[in-house]
Structure 1
Amino acid sequence: MGRGDLSDEKWARLEPHLPKSVGRGGRWQSHRRVINGIRFRQRTGIPWRDLPTRFGKWRTVHDRHRRWSADGTWERVLRAVQAEADAEGRVDWSMMSVDSTVCRAHQHAAGAPKQAPRTPGRHSRPAQHRPDEALGRSRGGLSTKIHLAGEGRLRPLALLITPGQWGDAPQMIPVLDRIRVPRSSGGRPRTRLDHLGGYKAYSSRRNRRHLRRRQIKHTIPERHDQRAHRRNRGSKGGRPAALDRTRYVRRNEVERTINRIKNFRAVATRYDKRAYVYYGTVTVAAIQLWLRK
């Protein structure tokens, strides 16, 4: 077993959730070796073609990662591992937080740009990238943003990727809607948390209304402009948002969760050209965090 490979204990927890067959009664070959290759590339960030030969053919490793990212296998494995932890009481539902982080996209992740049509008599417009590939352009270049909801033990419960320039507040509800932890006793998966924390960028009337409707207590500070606007409206502005500073201090937990995820070089820098493949890469990083004790 090489450095960073799956231990026997982690493999025993992961193996039952992997696909057993592939089309017409066929069977996958060397699941453990291929996953070790995926983990090696994720940890080091090297090109797929440069994978060491002990993991087998690089194309086999790449194709399996791409295939499982496309059909939702990685996401199902993540939920299964989360369900096991929840059944053992190892999920801290008492306080969860939402946050985001921007990851620089490598030039190889840009792919072929979508060229805008030329206008007669004027200069051509700049190249635009496909909106469904979660690539945003700013002064620093191409970037992708990872939105996540993390629990108190520094592990992500839900993930979402968007272009780097997208705001945080509009993505809070989509991230919370992705929390679906199956129950070992059956029935509907758990989707509602006890308390949510977030910094002032998530403060909006829409978000607070959504949390009240779902009966989720929250600790989100009010922005200065929203506070002034509420005061100017007088009694029609409503009551000020309550802020429990003792709970707000725990917002550092989601920041530390992001730090753990970005320890993987293939996550901190996006090398994957397609958005669904990069989402699978981030999901594999989350699975590794859940497999740790």
Structure 2
Amino acid sequence: MARVICAGHVNWDVTLSVDRLPVADGEATITGQTHACGGSACNVATGLTALGDEAAILGSVGDDEHGTRAVRNLESAGVDCDPLVVTDGETAVKYLVVDPDGEVAILGNDGGNEAFAADDLDEADIAAADHLHLTSQDPETAAALADRAHDHGLRVSFDPGRRIDARDFAAPLARADLVFVNEREAATAIEDHFGPADDLEKTVVLKHGSGGAEVLTPCGHYASHHGFSIEVVDTTGAGDAFAAGFLSTWLDGGAEPDFDRCLAVGNACGALAAAERGPHAPLSRDRVASLLDD
């Protein structure tokens, strides 16, 4: 069992199920509505605890009802919220609009989800951890956190998310030992930040959604997994669930992880997430094992 610090955005998510994603000057009917704590750091942390690992979260929420509910959600999932920063501002709220095919459009404000700094993480918290997982956040904060983690001998993973084209993540990408990207993000990251695919200096996990995922390592090792055939309900948080499953297995593998197993578990977690509404996948070791055995 590993202990992972997840750093990044903590939001309050309002998921609206609609009969269609509206076009400009169009209208859609809301068929369902749910509320939950969200944000990539939150989703990975709750995924890890559901799989039996320990997770602490570093992020920031406002001193408001949304922030209080977000913390309550995290604590009920077993996430250590001691590093979480509470600010005087508003908690970031995201509205996730999901169509019947599981496709998602997102509206939101940033609120106070980048009010935390690298030095908000206590030395004792870093010393007690086995790994640092960075998600989309202020690049300077991410880079400083990676440096502090490396000083304590921790490995660092980074999932830059959809903002990779809009923010300069060169520094945290350079410091990460393991990077998660999807196909669109890889088009920018592989050449711009990592160099040619056949000369990588870090391990890269390339996510293909329903098409599975693959791993490329600095030593030239390659692994792939085709994914699982499921009925997609909501893709929100599926990539984060994948990261939680991959990390849990990777950290359990020691110096020589079984990347085939990491991909299989990650894809199983992503599939379980995509088959349910909302950002929090109903993960468990038993559910993953059942899907792997099918």
TM-score grouping bracket, smaller chain normalisation: under 0.3
Relative to the length of structure 2, the TM-score reads 0.27
Q: Which has the larger radius of gyration?
A: 1
Which structure shows the higher helix fraction?
Answer: 1
Relative to the length of structure 1, the TM-score reads 0.27
